[in-house]
Chains A and B, each alone.
Chain A
Amino acid sequence: MKTLVVYLMSGPKTPELAAAAVAGGADVIELGFPFSDPLADGPVIRRAAERALGQGMRTRACLDCVARSRELLPETPLVPMTYAALLEAYGWDRFARDAQSAGATSLIVADLPVDVRPELRRVQLVAPTSTDERLRIAAEHTDGWLYLVALTGTTGARADASPALAGLAGRARAVTDVPLYVGFGISTPEQAQAAAELTDGIVVGSRPVEVAEEGAEALRRYVRTLRDAVDSVVAV
């Protein structure tokens, strides 16, 4: 079975949305902690972050959002995804500790390459530009799975599948046995299926953030189409 990871921006209604995504077939939920200047994000998540900050979703409120999601979803891995600025202000160790006690499973920091603060346990990201040596070091340090950034670019839906993914997945597979989940640019069931064929799982972000605007039921139905697409891939 391939793993389906769904990203949602933290907000007042996010715990219920996360539960709907899991009901639709999500295996892992990433919870965005908004930052005012998100360099790795395209317009959809950038705007969602602006809205969330406008609703008061500061670090403390985001940690509460993790805790409330944990109550609704006792079994689902919950992974905060954020930027270094929030940890710098909150305190690096304190952030990791408080996230864990709120129920977080791990952590993703979009602007923290593996050689910066290597002691912070987190899911490492690698990109098509990463050298084989960097892939190996990231895989060695990563917490549970390796996040393959499918393309050189920011988050956001793309019309076509990334031509860079096959090469990256092959190079990563050659240096590590950790699960490889791929994200960035995946929004349709067709893209989900194609990406799942090359990896152990997929991460979908901008489109669920948009669909979540239409409510929990719309999100559940959308995630179900991804689940079905991913399940149609025969494990190799």
Chain B
Amino acid sequence: MTSTPGLYGTYGGRYVPETLIPALDELEAGWRAAQTDKSFRAELDELGRNFGGRPTPLTRAERFAPGKRLYLKREDLLHTGAHKLNNALGQAVLARRLGKSRIVAETGAGQHGVATATVCARFGLECVVYMGEEDMRRQRPNVERMNLLGAEVRPVDFGTRTLKEATSEAIRDWITNVETTHYLIGSCVGPAPYPEIVHELQAVIGREARAQFLQAETRLPEVVVACVGGGSNAIGIFAGFIDDAEVRLVGVEAAEAASLGTGNPAVLHGARSSVLSDEDGQISDAHSISAGLDYPGVGPEHAWLRDSGRADYVSATDEEALDAFLELTRLEGIIPALEPAHALARARELDAELVLVCLSGRGDKDLAEVLAR
């Protein structure tokens, strides 16, 4: 994928204060060592199976998409209710190999925070999660879950009060406590080697989905669709099909958080990518009903997949996502999270019969927000 390590075309890199560079070098070395270590892979597979509930099923959504053969990859059924656990488990095992005893993370929708709090409880690691006050309000159940799991949730009360500021504060914490702390980033964003690590840890989604789809249909899907916030569930499912040139890859962003659709090349949170930003490089505010997509940046690999033409990126509005949320609920008996509801909204109208959608998480966390509409 990468030409130079850590670079995706001209995107990616390490735009961070010097203080963090030795930690990133250490992380990179630990990651390379883990990848060549069969026991790491085996430990992750075992945890995924017996703690996480992998493999997750593939479900046909016949009533939601009549006339199509549309399948849902059910990451909503993974332990903690979203794909985020794949990454949190892998990074927690890595952090232990690196001898780190404390974990910091950022969270938007709270799913990454819950996944992180969960693995920290499981492994006995100290856990601090930064979360914007606006997101704490709209994703209340997840704040309560994190507290129950023993994590400390630190509210971020400035700027957008959402994922962008929570990420900045998590990085500042990491700069301050870098000797003891692993930063467990929640998406395929941030300085190298994070985008690559998160890609690899989420690739299990695509590996399973490809085999399951072949088994169900004896063919590959024509299109694979996923929502894109930072881009981790999308990169995970795309990873299974990237070498199948005939399979279209479609990412769906929130209309007012479309980093790939309307962003510019800019530097945010340690990497160069496509970012909602103005002509001076100042970062613009994003807006979305779904906290997990409400982020002005995106993983550098997606910017590169867009430029190379391998993947297409479209968007869905709050209303379109809400409609899809309600319809999947009523027609299939599956309550999706608002994030993948964006992918569902676009998937139905695609000019294709065989469609695979990443249902990245379940919607329990979103009930208050939806019922208030």
Contact = CB atoms under 8 A, between A and B. Distances in A.
Nearest to B167: A37
A4 to B, nearest CB: 23
A113 B267 contact: no
B19 interface: yes
A37 B283 contact: yes
Interface stretch (A6-14, A125-133, A186-194, A215-223): A125-133
Contacts, number: 113
Contacts of B21: 113, 115, 129-130, 134
Contact of B172 (A39, A47, A50, A86): A39
Contacts of B22: 129-131, 134
A209 B17 CA distance: 21
B18 A127 contact: yes
Nearest to A89: B281
B168 A37 contact: yes
Interface string B252-289: 00000000000011111110100001111111000000
Given A39-B168, A39-B175, A40-B175, A111 B17 contact: yes
Given A111-B270, A129-B178, A36 B18 contact: no
A111 B14 CA distance: 8
A88 B175 contact: no
B164 interface: yes
B14 A58 contact: no
B166 to A, nearest CB: 12
Contacts of A225: none
Contacts of B280: 58-59, 86, 89-90
B19 A53 contact: no
Given A40-B175, A129-B23, A35 B281 contact: yes
A89 B284 CA distance: 13
A154 interface: yes
Interface string A139-179: 00000000001001110000000000000000000000000
B18 A114 contact: yes
B321 interface: no
Interface in B11-38: 13-23
Nearest to B178: A152
B72 interface: no
A149 B13 CA distance: 22
Interface in A71-114: 83-90, 110-114
A84 B175 contact: no
Nearest to A58: B280
A116 interface: yes
Interface-centre pick from A83, A125, A127 (highest chain B CB count, 10 A): A127
B16 A111 contact: yes
Interface string B180-221: 000000000000000000000000000000000000000000
Interface residues of B, number: 37
A53 B277 CA distance: 14
Interface residues of A, number: 41
B171 interface: yes
B13 A88 contact: no
A39 B18 CA distance: 12
B369 interface: no
Given A84-B15, A129-B19, A111 B176 contact: no
Given A37-B168, A83-B267, A153 B18 contact: no
B132 to A, nearest CB: 13
B246 interface: no
B281 A40 contact: no
B179 interface: yes
A84 B267 contact: yes
A152 B176 contact: yes
Interface-centre pick from B13, B19, B21, B265 (highest chain A CB count, 10 A): B19
A192 B177 CA distance: 24
A89 B279 contact: yes
A152 B175 contact: yes
Contacts of A89: 264, 266, 277-281
B14 A37 contact: no
Interface string A15-41: 000000000000000000001110110
Contacts of A111: 15-17, 267, 270
Contact of A37 (B17, B175, B268, B278): B268
Contacts of B172: 39, 42, 154
16 contacts: A35-B281, A36-B282, A37-B269, A39-B168, A85-B282, A87-B281, A88-B267, A89-B280, A124-B18, A129-B20, A134-B18, A134-B22, A149-B19, A152-B179, A153-B176, A154-B172
Given A111-B16, A129-B20, A129-B179, 20 more contacts: A39-B168, A39-B172, A42-B172, A58-B280, A84-B267, A85-B268, A85-B277, A85-B283, A86-B281, A88-B272, A89-B278, A89-B280, A89-B281, A90-B280, A114-B18, A115-B21, A129-B22, A130-B18, A154-B172, A154-B176
9 nearest A-B pairs in the assembled complex, by CB-CB distance: A89-B281, A85-B281, A127-B19, A153-B176, A85-B267, A36-B282, A58-B280, A40-B17, A36-B283
